[in-house]
């Protein structure tokens, strides 16, 4: 891991999430790119009728430039407030950009190719859960892993990980990725699968087949396995409480439109319900760099 992208709106959740980003950057010797996306209130200024177009454009340009400088200073102040002696060696970059949050974050990801995005999240009312929000859109659209820190979460370590497997393509890559975390934090990975009533024998066979690639880690106790039965989110929540795990990891597969309607999204349900960080892993995708108007400022 070389770069962690950290979007922030300076909320209480952002502060808790940034501590996770700092710990990950410290252990992986990665840099953190802090991002703040804002929307400039230039429409009101542009609507003035007492100045000609040329003067209006100059005013808008100056206003935008001044606002960008102020936003950059706010972002640096946030980082300084969250600084501690143990994190002083972490390289920091800063990005401030005017625009729509999702659009700009996807552009930043495409340009910078971060290895991980870390961000805080809020609980939402029923209408927002149905129609989606920024976090849900990022879960769907980001190409890299996304670590979501729920409200009220405090950093309690990253040495106990649970990976919820559905025995699908991508599991081996996900476990390989998580083994890097176990190595960095001297941790353990608990593999869990929630099966339907009566499917335990089949699930056990599938679990053994998956773990053929990790016999050494299994024998050494670095990886453990557990079959659970019942409703997925409830069973996983109870298991995480039992193991005292610090992170739940899940591999998000792509679904067609009708499958999304009939099954819903387990990832989004878990994002709403769990009280520990959720690490959303994605299938590997190749991207193409495109030009961008994003400004990058080094520490």
Are 103 and 181 members of one domain? no
Residue 61: the pLDDT is: 73
- Separation CA 248–CA 271 (nearest Å): 10
Are 107 and 163 members of one domain? no
Task: Give exposure, 117-145, as e/b (b: 16+ Cβ within 10 Å).
Answer: bbbbbeebeeeeeeeeebbbebbbebbbb
Are 18 and 101 members of one domain? yes
Residue 127 maps to a domain? no
**Mean pLDDT score, 7-24:** 91
**Residues with Cβ within 8 Å of residue 245, at least 6 apart in sequence:** 160, 161, 162, 190, 276
Are 9 and 79 members of one domain? yes
Q: Which SS3 state, helix, strand or coil, does residue 40 take? A: coil
Domain limits at 99?
A: 3-119+289-298
Residue 128 maps to a domain? no
Are 10 and 98 members of one domain? yes
Are 255 and 161 members of one domain? yes
Are 241 and 164 members of one domain? yes
Residue 66 maps to a domain? yes
Residue 107 maps to a domain? yes
Residue 115 maps to a domain? yes
pLDDT band for position 275 (cuts 50, 70, 90): confident
Residue 179 maps to a domain? yes
In 60-108, the DSSP E strands lie at: 92-98
Residue 135 maps to a domain? no
Are 91 and 171 members of one domain? no
Lowest-confidence pick of 49-58, 190-199, 224-233? 49-58
Helix (H), strand (E) at residue 116: strand 116-120
Are 115 and 184 members of one domain? no
**Mean pLDDT score, 169-196:** 92
Are 206 and 254 members of one domain? yes
Structural tokens at position 253: 């597969």
| Structure confidence by residue, pLDDT tens digits, 234-260 | 898 889 888 888 899 998 876 554 444
Q: Which SS3 state, helix, strand or coil, does residue 28 take? A: helix
Residue 246: the pLDDT is: 87
**Mean pLDDT score, 175-186:** 94
Are 78 and 44 members of one domain? yes
Residue 90: the pLDDT is: 96
Domain count, the chain: 2
pLDDT band for position 268 (cuts 50, 70, 90): confident
Are 178 and 272 members of one domain? yes
Residue 147 maps to a domain? no
Q: State the CATH number of the domain containing residue 230.
A: 3.40.50.620
Structural tokens at position 32: 């953190």
């Amino acid at each position: 891991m070389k770069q962690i992208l950290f979007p922030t709106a300076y909320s209480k959740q952002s502060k808790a999430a940034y501590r996770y980003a700092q710990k990950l950057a410290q252990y992986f010797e990665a840099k953190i790119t802090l991002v703040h996306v804002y929307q400039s209130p230039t429409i009101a200024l542009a609507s003035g009728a007492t100045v000609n177009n040329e003067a209006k454009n100059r005013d808008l340009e100056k206003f935008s430039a001044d606002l960008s400088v102020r936003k950059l200073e706010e972002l640096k102040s946030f980082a300084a407030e969250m600084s501690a002696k143990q994190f002083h060696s972490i390289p920091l970059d800063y990005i401030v950009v005017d625009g729509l949050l999702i659009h700009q974050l996807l552009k930043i990801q495409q340009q910078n190719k971060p290895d991980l995005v870390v961000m805080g999240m809020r609980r939402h009312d029923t209408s927002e859960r149905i129609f989606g929000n920024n976090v849900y859109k990022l879960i769907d659209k980001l190409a890299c892993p996304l670590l979501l820190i729920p409200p009220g979460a405090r950093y309690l370590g990253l040495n106990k990980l649970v990976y919820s497997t559905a025995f699908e393509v991508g599991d081996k890559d996900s476990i390989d990725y998580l083994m890097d975390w176990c190595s960095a934090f001297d941790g353990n990975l608990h593999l869990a699968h929630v099966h339907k009533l009566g499917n335990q024998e089949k699930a056990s066979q599938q679990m053994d087949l998956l773990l053929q690639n990790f016999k050494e880690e299994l024998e050494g106790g670095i990886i453990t396995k557990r079959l659970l039965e019942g409703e997925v989110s409830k069973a996983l929540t109870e298991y995480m409480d039992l193991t005292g795990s610090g992170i739940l990891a899940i591999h998000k597969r792509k679904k067609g439109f009708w499958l999304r309607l009939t099954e819903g999204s387990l990832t989004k349900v878990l994002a709403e319900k769990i009280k520990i960080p959720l690490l959303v892993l994605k299938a590997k995708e190749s991207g193409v760099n495109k030009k961008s108007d994003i400004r990058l400022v080094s520490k």
